Amino acid sequence: MRAESKPVRPPGVALSLPTLDLNLLKVFAAVHHWRQVTAAAQHLDMTPSAVSNALTRLRSHVGDQLFVRTQRGVVPTPYADRLAESVASGLQAIGNGLRPAQPFSPERSDRTFSINLADVGQMLMIGDLMRGTSHEAPDIRIRTIDLPVHEVEAALVRGDIDFAVGHLSSMGKTLFRRKLVNERFVCVVGEQNRRYRKGLSVEEFLAASHIRYSPGAVSLARINVEIDRFFRQKGRVQRVALDAAHAFGLSAILAETEHVLTVPARLAAHYARITPVAIHPLPLKTPSFDISLYWHERHQRDDAHAWFRQKFAAAVKES
């Protein structure tokens, strides 16, 4: 009678993967399938002694005999039968993961792309983007998110989002950027506001009642800093009737009041298409700024990501 071997640890104790040679699991799977050391060795292109040595090493990890020798080969222990299911699925998952990436096919893709952008970006860009992708990639999904500016870079690095749209004043070395548009600020007033039919002089701008658009996006909200500085230089205080966190609905308010709103030119043009408002130059000098698309370097060579970047840039350019 064969003496019972003393297990190194109780059967079923979790394997320590950092110290485990995964080739041992391939040997185990082959022996479990063929039920013979010699047949498994031929399948693996190994010697029978190498297979036996591998099983010995694996036994020291799992604390179980794994196989019992018989006249016809080997018989797995109950623990080996349970282990075989996990090993088979695990090896298959690893093999699938190591397969060469399939070329991206927009018409068959159901991928979700997450984009961080302000409500203005969603209003001005997403509709054109979806019109440009709906026929070519009918099953892709777009998800918009509006994170605080200081969280955007970390979200890109972690992979919580695929893209960010805006103007990031500081950008880490792991981020890529593609310029979408160069933007400037203008004034918007209701068309029925006869006071400003020919535009706003500096004095009229200083005396006006303002709607102040104050979003979370730094690239848009920074105009308020410039305007506050301008008023201080003139020894005046801006009269603000409404501090608005969102761009939606502001043009309707302007159309029925005599307030003045300062916003990016593209947003002003959108307002003019949907409500009776007029656009005038901003009567103070402010720098223009770029609106860009940002992504992490891990996606730089991803075909799907590259396709989406191209579609996004084309949609913004055409809008």
What the block records as the tokens of 259 is 């307030």
Beta carbons within 10 angstroms of residue 87's beta carbon: 18
Q: What is the DSSP letter of 162?
A: S
Q: Has residue 4 got a pLDDT over 60?
A: no
Go through the domains of the chain in sequence order and give each one's CATH number. 17-98 (1.10.10.10), 106-182+290-318 (3.40.190.10), 185-287 (3.40.190.10)
Residue 208: phi and psi, rounded to 5, are -70, 160
pLDDT for residue 13: 42
pLDDT value at 11 more than 70 = no
Are residues 269 and 219 in contact, defined by beta-carbon separation less than 8 angstroms? no
Bridge partners, residue 297, by sequence = none
- Average the pLDDT over 90-96 and give the result: 78
185 forms beta bridges with 264
pLDDT tier, 115 (very low <50, low <70, confident <90, very high otherwise): very high
Confidence of residue 101 (pLDDT cuts 50, 70, 90): low
Least confident of 16-30, 102-116, 245-259, 274-288: 16-30
- In eight-state DSSP terms, residue 216 is S
In angstroms, the Cα distances linking 143 to 103, 121, 160 are 23, 13, 11
- Residue 121, classified by CB atoms within 10 Å of its CB into exposed (0-12), middle (13-18) or buried (19+), is buried
Kindly tell me if the per-residue pLDDT of 1 is higher than 90. Answer: no
Q: Exposed, middle or buried: residue 57 (CB in 10 Å: 0-12, 13-18, 19+)? A: middle
Cα dist from 263 to 11, 115, 166, 188, 310, whole Å:
68, 22, 15, 8, 27
| For the chain, percent of residues with pLDDT exceeding 90 | 61
Give the distance from CA 30 to its chain's centroid.
41
Which alpha helices (DSSP H) does the chain contain, by range? 23-34, 37-44, 48-62, 78-98, 119-121, 127-133, 149-158, 202-207, 218-233, 250-255, 265-274, 303-318
Rounded Cα gap, residues 242 and 239, in angstroms: 9
Tell which residue, 256, 246, 255, 241, has the closest CA to residue 221. Answer: 246
CA distance 241 to 255: 15
pLDDT band for position 14 (50/70/90)? very low
Nearest Cα to 218, choosing from 260, 164, 272?
164
The whole model's pTM is what? 0.67
pLDDT of res. 12: 44
Token pair in block for residue 130: 């979806």
Biggest alpha carbon–alpha carbon distance for the chain: 108
Please list, in sequence order, all residues whose beta carbon lies within 8 angstroms of the beta carbon of residue 55, skipping any fewer than 6 positions away: 24, 27, 28, 31, 37, 66, 67
| DSSP letter (8 states) at residue 107 | G
